[in-house]
Structure 1
Amino acid sequence: MTTDIASPDRKANLGLTLKRRILTMELPPGSVLDEVALSEEFGLSRPPVRELMRQMAGEGYIELEANRAARVSSMSYQSLRDFFLMAPMIYITANRMAAENRTRAELDALKQIQQSFQKAVDNRDVEGRVFYNDQFHRQVGEMAHNVYLVPSLRRLQIDHARIGKIFYKHPNTPRMQEELELASKQHDEMIETIERHDADAAGELARLHLELSRRNMAMYAAPEGIEAPTL
């Protein structure tokens, strides 16, 4: 049995690692999570691992059912359709409220995340792009300072990242790289509008950003013969 002298740090490391593995599809939807293996990998006993599983289930990363092992949250055509329907409202609202409520420290953190995203784009680092794009929009959500918005945005981002990984796993063509550069440019423009407290411009950039994602991902996400909803 391991001792949990450093369990807060180890538990936080486990949580961050699991979230990254889920967002980047290293752990695909429906994958079983082995508590024993995770306990051994991160030097934790079973109770803190179970507690983390419950927390992550509440956030939407994991599904917990009685008498079944924990599993990575599933994805279906219905959940993808729900994503395309709800994403515009939530992302646009997050951008608008971030422009109204952000602090200087939060803005500086957003700029640092964007530097990491741009580096991943330049290096054609698929997992880095998915992870730092998620971190970018998560930070925007935090800057909105709204207790009702943030949980919805976080849940939405889980499937956004996974849909993006499905798309980005395909060969990086010149067109794809060009659109990734455009997405990064839109991030820079979002930062500028949030910095000057321009809620209208920040919201419009969120709409354009999602439209870019929708065009790229709909062919992999929408059922045959069903067009993904327009934004």
Structure 2
Amino acid sequence: MPRLSKDQCLSDLKLRILSTALAPGSDLDETTLAEHYGMSRTPMREVLHRLAGAGFITTSENRGAKVASMDIGTMRTFFQTAPMIYANIASLAAEARTGPQLEALKDAQHAFTKATAAQDAQATALANHRFHAVIGEMAHNPYLVASLDRLLIDHTRLSQRFYRPANADEKMLIVKASDQHDALITAIEAHESALAIDLSLQHWDLSRDRMERYVRPDPLPVDVVSLKDRRNAV
């Protein structure tokens, strides 16, 4: 591989983690990575530090760096937290979005529909990541966006299974997910916060069961309380 800048190396490692080319929990050897990207260990150490700060990897003095785990404890927290974060983000996005952000969201949806038409699971998962990241930017809330960014790492890795349908029914789920994206855009454009909440929860429910089966054959023993009956908490 030709020598890359630190930013290029960072982007490539993020892509490899999000696509699960680097498996959750796998070791990352600093020396091997530095040789692979054609850089010295000092800038590679900085790249790993930035990845750790963003939640893509974990580091420890004794064990070095590892790709962020997706063990049962992590996944329990993910499934409990995701609907609350997505609903709150959608509500704030509908209130605070700007015109340029709305155009960016439409561009992200265009990339999503193009990737689904090509049946490219990796491209679809990454386009979905961008779609929800733009909604996060619309919320203008650094506390929630920090949580969203971390959630999207695991959501994108889990969704690799969702975007590889095994039958016609599963293909229809992807079509429905795209339709829900379009509906979310319409709700956010119209400043319809309550509708954006409902749509984001429906969107979460659509893929949740499939993502749980990625973790293990049976659904996780997690009871997620629907926010539809708790709008006062949003």
Query: Is 1:133 paired with 2:128?
Result: yes
- The equivalent residue for 1:201 is 195
Q: Which stretch of the first structure deviates more once superposed, 29-38 or 152-161?
A: 29-38
- 1:109-157, Cα deviation, whole Å (9 max, x unpaired): 1111111111111111010111111111111111111111111111111
| TM-score normalized with structure 1 length | 0.89
Q: Which runs of 5+ in 1 are unaligned?
A: none
Tell me which residue corresponds to 1:12: 7
Question: Is 2:105 the partner of 1:110?
Answer: yes
Question: Displacement, 1:167?
Answer: 4.2
Match of 1:184 in 2: 178
CA displacement at 1:42 relative to structure 2: 3.4
Query: Partners of 2:211 and 2:82 in 1: how far apart?
Result: 13
Deviations 1:169-199 (A, max 9, x none): 5x54211111101101111111111111111
Give the TM-score, by structure 2 length: 0.88
Q: How does 1:15-164 map to 2 (within 5 A)?
A: 15-164=10-159
* 2:196 partner letter: A
Deviations 1:15-58 (A, max 9, x none): 12111111111111112223334334434332222112111111
Which segment is superposed worse, 45-54 or 144-153? 45-54
| Contact 2:161 2:210 (8 Å CA) reproduced | no
Q: For residues 156 and 198 of structure 2, what CA distance do their matches in structure 1 show? A: 21
> For residue 215 of structure 1, what is the aligned residue in structure 2?
209
* Residue identity opposite 1:203 in structure 2: I
Q: State how many pairs are aligned.
A: 224
Note closer, same or farther for the CA distance 1:36–1:148 as it changes in structure 2 (3 Å cut). Answer: same
The alpha-carbon deviation at position 69 of structure 1 amounts to 2.8
Aligned residue type for 1:136: F
Q: CA deviation at 1:224?
A: 4.2
Contact 2:34 2:40 in 1 (8 A): yes
Deviation at 1:68, TM superposition (A): 2.5
% identical aligned pairs: 42
Distance of 1:65 and 1:135 partners within structure 2: 30
Q: Which amino acid aligns with 2:154?
A: D
d(CA) in 1 for partners of 2:160, 2:223: 20
